[in-house]
Structure formats: structure tokens, C-alpha cells
Structure 1
């Protein structure tokens, strides 16, 4: 009987994980379709400069940063299922609010303010959804397969980016930004229909530990993902604008190239951190990200720029799960969601800060210059990771 139970868990746990990844993929399309279209909407329709384009894209990441700890504590105490459902509802509400901005474009700064409010709510929804799914996945799969959980969840997220970027640009081209927001309202509801019938996960009980204490344990790992995250942020926020400025076709395919590489690496190398150790995988990944950013920076044509986005995606793919395995190993089971929430906030901080800062740089030095910043940031992460591995060898 014991053997039968173990066998059943062996096969049902991965199925639950893949079901969670499906609902995350579908719902996260709401974020993916909005990322390139929001910067284009602010720049081309509202006629604001690149600072505002970057701000409206990056503000959702600021919201996510500020609420990761709240979402993590909520998931640890009330379960990943409740956190996930809460996040999906917030996603849908964000789509409704953002859609209002497309109907009031002639009212000065008001559409920007409304759009920012919608993006802030989107970031809150992202916090609860992703942390909730991670907590749910860890409960289902256990600590020993934390790397697999992180790999599969990340594959769903960036798979959504690969599909969502050109999809969002297509929707906007034919039906306008309001239709992008409508899709952002409907997609999380599909994810909600998948989440609600699933059984709630086991909730681990234990003494509460302040988020500041948890951050103290993992800050070095967080700094690495912060520096790594700049590369993705500049691809997501500015690659469509780079293509439009240079009159290149297929402006939405940069994130598709990034996401495709990201998912492929997760499929074939997702077991790497659990098997070979997070630091070793992260070092190799960061070197590839540097190469990708340099390619985009120097690209004379769209082919090399897309190749750079592909290499950037391949490099970024395993850094977060590689460092995430190290994070999970440093905390007790009942603190995993809080720890992952605090850890993910470092990456969100990179996404949120990069948009407006890189927008200012782009205004003065051109869009290609932001990818030099991405390359330098990835190089810093590479050096830090090498030092971390040397200190623990």
C-alpha cells in the first residue's frame, strides 16, 4: 500500500506541476502582450518620450517589488492556491483599468496616470500569481526538486513572452490598445478556471521570520539576479522601439527570439541546477547573456539583433532557477514562498529600475546604447557569481 501511494505521488505531482504551469502560461500572456504594446502606445499614440515609455512598462515591476514580501507571507500562511487565485483576479482588474487609458487619449496626462494605475495593479497581480504558483509547486514536488519547479514555472512565464509579444503587437495593429487590455482581462479568467478545481496544497507550519532576516540570508544571490535582469528588461522595453526607429520589420519578434531560447534551454537543461549545482550553471549562463547583449548593441541589421535576443534568452534562462535552488537550500520549508518572494524582488527591481533609467540613456545616446548597459550588468553578475563559487568551493 505504501508503495502504491508513493507511486501515485510520483506520477500525480508532475501532472499537477504542469497544470500549474499551463494556468501560469495562459494568465501571464496578459503581461506579455502588454509589455511591447505599452511602450509603443505611450510613444506612438500618447506622444510621450522614452522616459515615460520606460516608466509605464517598468512601473508594474515596481509594484511587484513592493508586494513580493506580502505575497510570499500570504502564500506561506494561507497556501499557494489562495495566493494564485487572488493574483489572477487582480490581473483581470488591471486589464479593465488599463483599457480606460485608450479611450481618453486627448486628456493630457490623464491617460498616462490611469495607465500607471493599471500597471501598478498588474504588478500586484503578478506578485500573488507567481509566488502562489511557486509555493504550490514546492509543496507538490518537495525541496529536492525545487530546481525543476523553478525551471518549469520560468518556462511557462517566458514561453508566454515568446508568444505574447508578437500576439500583442498583432492585436494592437488590427484592433488597437484597448483590445490588448481586453485580452489582458480575459486571459487570467481562463487561468482561474484551471486553478479553482485543483486541490489546495499542503501548508507548512512554523515560526514566523521577518522578511528582513530572510533577505539578509539571501542578498548575495539576489544581487546576481538583479544584475542579470537588466538584459531582459532592455530587450522587453526597447527592442520594439529599436526596430521601429531603424525601420526594420517584425518589431515584436525580439521577445519571441528571447522567449524561444529561454524555453528551449529550460526544456533541455532544467535539471541542471538540481544535478550540477546552481552556481556552476549560472556562471555559464551569464557568459552567454553577455554575448547576446553585445550582439544587439553592435547589430547592423535585424538578423544579428534577433540573434542577440536569442542568446540573451538562452543566457537568462537558468540564472534565476540556479540561484533559486541556493535560496531554497538556505531557508526552512515554511519560509520558502517568503524567501522566493524576497529573492524575486531583486529581479523585479532590475526590471522596474531599468525601464526609466535606460529610457533616459536611449533619449541621449540611441536605443542600441541600452544593450551596452545590459552587457556590463551581466558581466558584473558573472564576476559576482564566480566569486561566490570560489568562496564556497
Structure 2
């Protein structure tokens, strides 16, 4: 057999690095709040802050990372992003006894994650043949879904002995491998000094107004979803069902992966309103069931319901954000969408932790269910009604 095509090799390297960085994100997002609680004697609010400060760093860096990629090229920014990610990872060893320095490293870690992920997500398009781009991007995103499947479970498995050093050693090794994979990728470097270097950054380079309504809907979904990764392990421990946490995340993510082909057909056959309303209601029911759970069965049913509905809602929102925007603004629409997602996840982690600290985890999950219903109201008034009005005007014309 002949050697594999060069684009195939580069694509696999990028998929591997994307999988590893996602894996590390979910491992740390699940375990570090637990370490803050047990190893630093932190409260629920500080547990949420561990995730929030990471996302704040990610949001700030994501604003500029696209401009950096265009100016300096995918390869350079990928190397820089993954190198800083690795340095931040090993820096945890020196700050695990002080919350302030610990949060500072989390902030830098979040910035490096945004830069690295932006560069690799942009790079994958450049290595794929035009005839295989749709298929390739689909597989590329699937690796992140796989990281969502196994990341929390591996993190909790490593945390069973509550030895933070074991987790950090594994994550550091994975980070080094991810950096190596990116270094092996051969990318075409196309720099546009005349149009990029001299261009002043404006808000409309980042924010696409027409993508804002559906992105705000997604903001509240992620606000609600943030209650799972950062606090589910503590909640299940409180209700004496801690052994089920890893399986919950596996069930949740498998529902996303397994039903993705079916979801794609739904988008082609039905209008988004018929997809959104049942899905957000199912997600809310799942969150409410979780808040009232006393048994393994109810927890897993909640995971099935939320995994299925989340797997439908997320690609629906992403597609609508781009669909509602001009074709030449698809990049800005995508940036707007992910910025609102990051903000929802980060702010949600903090406020969910605050809610748990002044009440209980059960009340926190009831609050998360209510927040998911807020996204329904936002969708109705900012997207559904304006869309119906727009269609009426087109019919009259």
C-alpha cells in the first residue's frame, strides 16, 4: 500500500490535538471544582469561579484570536496557543495551595485554550480538499463530542483517590502530546499584511447583529448546562449516588453522538420552530428530574433526556446563527455564537455555585431548569415572532 495522502495525515494530527484539548478541558472542568472544595476548603461559589475565570480568559482571547490567525497564520498561532496551554498545565503544580494564583493560572489556561482551538478549527479547513470539507468538518467536530463522552469519566476516575497530582501528571502528558501533534502538522501559511496588519479592530468585525437573537437563546441554554460539569459530582455525592456520575456523562454524550445523523435529517425536513420547542421542554424536564432525583434510574433518565435534547439544540442554534447572517459574515456570526456560549457557560458556573452556596444543590438544579425555560421565552420574542413578521412582509410583497 502507498503512503497516505498528506492532507489525511495533517487532518488526523489536527483531529488528535482537538480531541486532546477537549478531553483536558472536560477532565479539569469536572475535577478542579471538587479539588477546590476538598483540597482548598472552598465553598460552592469558589467552585463555580474555577470554571468562570477559565471561560472569561477564553472569551477575551477568542475576541482577538481570529485576527491573530489571519495575521500570523494558523501554524504559528497553533504552536503558540498549545505551548502556553502546556506551560499553564504544568504551572498548576506550583499553585494548588493558593486560590488566587490558582485562579490566575486558570485565566491564562482559558486564554490559551481559546487561541489553540480557534487556530486548529481554522486550520482544518485549509488541509481538507474542497470536495471533502463538509464530511471532514463533521468528523472533526465529532472528536470534540468524543472528548465530552470520556473526559468527565476519566477525570473522576483519576480523582477517586483524591490525588490532584495524579490528575495533573496525566493532563500534562496529554498536553505535551497535543503540542507535538500540532508541531507535526504542515499548513499553508497565507499572510495578508496589507489588509490585516493595517486594519483596525472594530466591534462589527467580531459581533454579527443578525446572529445575536439566536445566540442569546444559546447563552441561556449554556447558562443552564453549566450546572452539570461543575457541580454534578458534588450533588451526586450529597445524595449518596456518587458512583453514577461518570456513567451520567457517558449517557449524556452518547445520546449526542448516536443520534447526530437523525438530527441532521430533522433539520432538512422540518422548520426550526418544530424542533426547538419540544427539545427545550425535554431539556427542562430532564433538569427538573435531576433536581428531584433520589435513585440511579432517575439520574440516568435525566441524562438521556438532556443529552438527546442538547444534541438537537446545539447544532440547531449554530446553524441558525449562520443562516440568519449574510454569507460574507459567516465568520463573525460563528464568533458571535461561540462568544455568547462561552459567556453563558462561564457566568452560569459562577451563579450556579452562588445559588448552591445560599440554598442547596437541588434548588440550584431547579434554578437551572427555570433558566432553560428563559431561553424559550427569548426564542419566542427575539426570533420566532420577528421571523413570522418577516415572512408575512415577504408574502405581501
Query: What TM-score comes out, normalization by structure 2 length?
Result: 0.82
For the 8 Å contact 1:59–1:352, the answer to whether it is kept is: yes
- The equivalent of 1:5 in structure 2 is none
- The equivalent of 2:203 in structure 1 is 211
- The equivalent of 1:353 in structure 2 is 347
Where in structure 2 are the equivalents of 1:77-96 lying within 5 Å? 77-96=71-90
SS at match of 1:252: helix
Where in structure 2 are the equivalents of 1:217-296 lying within 5 Å? 217-250=210-243, 251-266=245-260, 268-270=262-264, 273=267, 281-296=275-290
Where in structure 2 are the equivalents of 1:74-113 lying within 5 Å? 74-102=68-96, 104=97, 111-113=98-100
- The equivalent of 2:164 in structure 1 is 177
Q: Which whole-Å CA distance do the structure 2 matches of 1:167 and 1:378 have between them?
A: 28
Q: Deviations over 1:75-118 (max 9, x none)?
A: 3333444433333222212211222233x3xxxxxx21122122
Say if 1:230 and 1:143 are closer, same or farther in 2 by CA, change over 3 A: farther
1:365, distance to aligned residue in structure 2 (A)? 2.2
For the 8 Å contact 1:155–1:262, the answer to whether it is kept is: no
- The equivalent of 1:122 in structure 2 is 109
Across the aligned residues of Structure 1 and Structure 2, the Cα RMSD in angstroms comes to 3.3
Say if 1:157 and 1:218 are closer, same or farther in 2 by CA, change over 3 A: same
For the 8 Å contact 1:27–1:189, the answer to whether it is kept is: no
Say if 1:376 and 1:19 are closer, same or farther in 2 by CA, change over 3 A: farther
1:211, distance to aligned residue in structure 2 (A)? 3.3
Q: Which whole-Å CA distance do the structure 1 matches of 2:112 and 2:286 have between them?
A: 30
- The equivalent of 2:123 in structure 1 is 136
- The equivalent of 1:322 in structure 2 is 316
SS at match of 1:187: helix
1:262, distance to aligned residue in structure 2 (A)? 2.5
- The equivalent of 2:67 in structure 1 is 73
Q: How many aligned residue pairs are there?
A: 375
1:148, distance to aligned residue in structure 2 (A)? 6.3
User: Greater Rg, structure 1 or structure 2?
Assistant: 2
- The equivalent of 1:157 in structure 2 is 144
Say if 1:117 and 1:284 are closer, same or farther in 2 by CA, change over 3 A: same
1:28 aligns with 2:22: yes
Say if 1:213 and 1:85 are closer, same or farther in 2 by CA, change over 3 A: closer
Q: Which whole-Å CA distance do the structure 1 matches of 2:322 and 2:188 have between them?
A: 18
1:123, distance to aligned residue in structure 2 (A)? 0.8
Say if 1:67 and 1:145 are closer, same or farther in 2 by CA, change over 3 A: farther
1:275, distance to aligned residue in structure 2 (A)? 7.5
- The equivalent of 1:190 in structure 2 is 177
Q: Which whole-Å CA distance do the structure 2 matches of 1:192 and 1:125 have between them?
A: 12
Query: What TM-score comes out, normalization by structure 1 length?
Result: 0.82
- Pairing partner for 1:308 from 271, 279, 302: 302
Say if 1:386 and 1:75 are closer, same or farther in 2 by CA, change over 3 A: farther
Deviates more, 1:272-281 or 1:246-255: 272-281
SS at match of 2:184: coil
Q: Which whole-Å CA distance do the structure 2 matches of 1:159 and 1:118 have between them?
A: 26
Q: Which whole-Å CA distance do the structure 2 matches of 1:315 and 1:298 have between them?
A: 19
Structure 1: stretches of 5+ with no match in the other structure: 1-10, 105-110
Structure 2: stretches of 5+ with no match in the other structure: 392-397
1:163, distance to aligned residue in structure 2 (A)? 0.8
Q: Which whole-Å CA distance do the structure 2 matches of 1:82 and 1:33 have between them?
A: 27
Q: Which whole-Å CA distance do the structure 2 matches of 1:300 and 1:175 have between them?
A: 25
- Pairing partner for 2:386 from 384, 387, 391: 391
